[in-house]
């Protein structure tokens, strides 16, 4: 399986995700509000999604964490790693697209929290 995540920080609502498989492809567009699946030998078809205000959800989770009501859903080391990924992407772009290692991550992120 191959995937592609694209986003433009210079304009609003310009994020998308494409996943390519041997039996189907999926593409999320319009800031992940629309999902289209194309199965091998079939026409693309929409998949119904429930709209989520992701900024509102993030702010609500942050407020709950500040109030001590619930842990923030993203661990601090994951947030730091995400920033390192974006910095590596920028460094790679400055180097003509060459691979840039991300320092400080010797293990995969823990899941299921």
DSSP letter for each residue of the chain: -EEEEEE-TTSSS-EEEEEE-SSEEEEEETTTTEEEEEETTS--EEE------HHHHHHHHHHHHHTTSS--SS-HHHHHHHHHHHHHHHHHHHTTS-----TT--SPPP---
pLDDT confidence tier of residue 111, bands split at 50, 70 and 90: very low
Structure tokens at 4: 């592609």
Note the pLDDT of residue 9: 59
> Full-prediction pTM beyond 0.75?
no
- Give the model's confidence band at 113: pLDDT under 50 very low, under 70 low, under 90 confident, else very high: very low
pLDDT at 78: 87
- Please say whether the beta carbons of 40 and 24 come within 8 A: yes
- What digits encode the pLDDT tens for the residues 23-75? 999 998 877 788 999 999 999 999 988 878 888 888 999 999 999 999 999 88
Give the residue from 86, 65, 85 showing the smallest Cα distance to 75: 65
* pLDDT for the residue 30: 77
Residue 36's DSSP bridge partners are: 27, 46
Checking if the pLDDT of 103 tops 80, the result is no
Q: Region 9-18: what's the mean pLDDT?
A: 70
**Cβ-count burial 70-80 (b if 16+ within 10 Å, e if not):** eeeeeeeeeee
């Amino acid at each position: 399986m191959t995937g592609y995540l694209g986003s433009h920080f210079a304009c609003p609502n310009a994020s998308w995700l494409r996943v390519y498989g041997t039996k189907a492809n999926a593409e999320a567009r319009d800031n992940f509000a629309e999902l289209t699946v194309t199965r091998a030998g079939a026409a693309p078809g929409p998949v119904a999604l429930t709209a989520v205000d992701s900024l509102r959800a993030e702010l609500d989770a942050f407020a709950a964490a500040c109030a001590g009501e619930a842990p923030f859903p993203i661990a601090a080391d994951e947030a730091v790693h995400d920033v390192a990924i974006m910095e590596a992407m920028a460094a790679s772009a400055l180097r003509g697209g060459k691979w840039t290692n991300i320092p400080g991550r010797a293990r995969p992120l823990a899941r299921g929290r």
